[in-house]
A and B are shown apart, each in its own frame.
Chain A
């Protein structure tokens, strides 16, 4: 494979840093959609960084951005999602390494830690959940979440009439204590549960090892597979963006980096097209 270090022009590490912080600044601008004063400040700082990229090598703009994002996260806690916390952690990482001469390498290492930690926590949450362990989550959630229910109906794991019944259940429960509900077929439930746990385990393991370990490529491929499969069905764009950005920051190979960039562009594009159609 051709490494990104072979890219002509400016030093490769400098170029890698520029691309990574560009992606992060765009992620903050697009997906930090909570408490507006915090958003306004963080977005202004990121705009400045986009207009004057040399600012990205200073710690202070990133510190200001991290503080504003944290204030937004706390101020609007009921509206925040886990990807907002990931964005804060990524901005903090950039702030901590920005002034270091080895900033691109340190960012890559830190990005790997962040991805690994997020998926270790996701796996632990699944293991701690009686719902998930019993398989009930896999049977119920695809029948509950309209995005997954579409897929379940398409592959024959849920009858269209049953889907309609399930859609009414939440409304019925506003006035009554019980409502009929039909789970998806067992094969689909098992596939959903197994795939979710397996892909997250592969990502956690692949990003826990050092970057020069052979298994590291498993992490990249698993993360790309996760982005392609999960977010094409359930487009959680903020999470896709921060994971793609962190994946890009630590990638050494042009082909893998290209796939991360493709993911960063294709997932919102697919979502926009789906909305229009």
Chain B
């Protein structure tokens, strides 16, 4: 019985570690997070994942600086475990918050152009040895009309 008590917490770590490896292999979960002890094993840490907010208008696309505050947690979650669903939810929330138009008849504007939709894209940064450049690779995206 004592042996079981002593080994049980380590087995808990092992179980979480195995689940983490499966999740990393099958989803976009960063190996750095959620109990896999994969810190310092890959450059694909949550902090190295770029979240882009783009406002699409009838005259082109404009990249908008992401707000922090109430959206910080959603952005954190998106960096740790990106998914199209989570990206869409954030896009909808940002669309509602940043381009709220009180007059239901009016159309939201961005720099004088009519906003058509808002897009949130999460990118994993990959190094291209041939060009010595970091390259943005899309791993999740969501659109809010």
Contact = CB atoms under 8 A, between A and B. Distances in A.
A37 interface: no
Q: Which 8 A-B pairs have the closest CB atoms?
A: A125-B38, A113-B10, A121-B37, A89-B9, A96-B5, A78-B77, A117-B10, A121-B17
B109 interface: no
B26 interface: no
Interface of B: 2, 5-10, 12-14, 16-17, 21, 31, 33-44, 48, 50, 52, 63, 65, 73, 76-77, 79-81, 123, 125, 127-129, 131-136
Interface in A99-117: 100, 102, 106, 109-110, 113-114, 116-117
B136 A173 contact: yes
B41 A137 contact: yes
B133 A178 contact: yes
Interface of chain A: mostly helix, strand, loop or mixed: helix
Nearest to B131: A178
A134 to B, nearest CB: 10
Interface residues of A, number: 54
Interface of A: 77-82, 85-86, 89-90, 92-93, 96-97, 100, 102, 106, 109-110, 113-114, 116-119, 121-122, 124-126, 128-129, 131-132, 136-137, 140-141, 144, 169-170, 173-183, 196, 236
B2 A106 contact: yes
A77 B73 CA distance: 10
Given A113-B9, A173-B136, 19 more contacts: A79-B73, A82-B37, A85-B35, A106-B2, A110-B6, A113-B10, A118-B13, A122-B38, A122-B41, A125-B37, A126-B40, A129-B38, A129-B41, A137-B41, A144-B48, A174-B63, A178-B136, A180-B132, A196-B40
A106 B128 CA distance: 50
A82 B7 CA distance: 19
A82 B31 contact: no
